[in-house]
Structure 1
């Protein structure tokens, strides 16, 4: 699948390539999927952690390269699937976790067996050990970073506000 060409709606060809150490990149966007065992009782604790803090998603937005993140507890509460799409390279993305939201990542992933902590020197080896490169992956906007999308949304809002003002809404 690596180096396959894909054509998006804007007829711009982008090639599937490696995101760095592990994972795929399509254009400017990369994918990361981790499957890891949970500690005894970790599934229930993680469910509570993910649902108890309404501000946690705002904290995630501190990493302005994150398109999305998903946590899925499966296999009778024994394993966690963590999947995300992000802008750029693998190493830089993992470094962002350690510098921008270390407490939050440690809060969630402390329920994973043998999780060393986001600032532990072995964290990248730990993630790579549990990461699985996607077999198939679709990215609707491979040439648009999160910042590009935010800029587009602000531009569209400003344009719509102008049109509304001219039309007297």
Structure 2
């Protein structure tokens, strides 16, 4: 397999600065059960902190279906496709490998064919909606921090 060169357009629908990413791929035999155990606690604690380190992830989800033979991974993110994938592969490659190692053909985040594997399993959404298409994750975090400070100030003044 040859490495896909950075293209000007990657798969995925866009709404303002928000982008969707949907991946559907087969699981290894027994992979569904192992993935369920791995993700039983969801995205809390260290897993949430690791994901937050990316700084562009609005949401994400894993869904196992087809009698435990396939998994859907979907996310909404800021920025362009290549930067998003590069961030995962360089900031939290071990976490990424842990989460996707049950997927058939997954080469690993550090493998030069990583993006090829993603593109081969990616499905572009027919329609994509974002409630705040012009607000980045960092904008939302900042707004929530400002609201918290303002609420505290108003509570103190009351």
TM-score scaled by structure 2?
A: 0.91
Unaligned runs of 5+ in 2: 1-7
**Residue of structure 1 equivalent to 2:29:** 40
1:111-150 equivalences under 5 Å are 111-150=102-141
8 Å Cα contact 1:21-1:90 kept in structure 2 = yes
Q: Hey, what does 1:160 align to over in structure 2?
A: 151
Report which of the two structures shows the higher radius of gyration computed on alpha carbons: 1
Alignment partner of 2:71 out of 73, 80, 84 = 80
Q: Does 1:68 align with 2:59?
A: yes
After superposition, the C-alpha distances for 1:43-90 in whole angstroms (9 at most, x for unaligned) are 000011112574212211111000011000000000000000000100
Correspondent of 1:59 among 50, 74, 77: 50
Q: Give me the whole-angstrom Cα distance separating, in 1, the residues matched to 2:71 and 2:49.
A: 22
Question: Could you say what secondary structure the match of 1:157 adopts?
Answer: helix
Secondary structure (helix, strand or coil) at the match of 2:74 reads strand
The alpha-carbon deviation at position 20 of structure 1 amounts to 3.2
Give yes or no for contact 2:57–2:78 (8 Å, CA) kept in 1: yes
Q: Say if 1:69 and 1:82, in contact at 8 Å, map to a contact too.
A: yes
**8 Å contact 2:14–2:128 — kept in the other structure?**
no
Distance 1:155 1:57 in 2: 22
- Contact 1:20–1:91 at 8 Å: present in 2 too? no
Determine the C-alpha separation between the residues in 2 that align with 1:41 and 1:156: 46
Q: Which structure has greater strand proportion?
A: 1
SS at match of 2:141: helix
Answer 1 or 2: higher relative contact order, Cα 8 Å, separation at least 6.
2
* Aligned: 1:21 with 2:44: no
Pairing of 1:5-20 with structure 2 (within 5 A)? 20=9
In structure 1, the gaps of 5 or more residues are 1-18
Q: CA RMSD in A?
A: 1.3
1:86-97 superposed matches below 5 A: 86-97=77-88
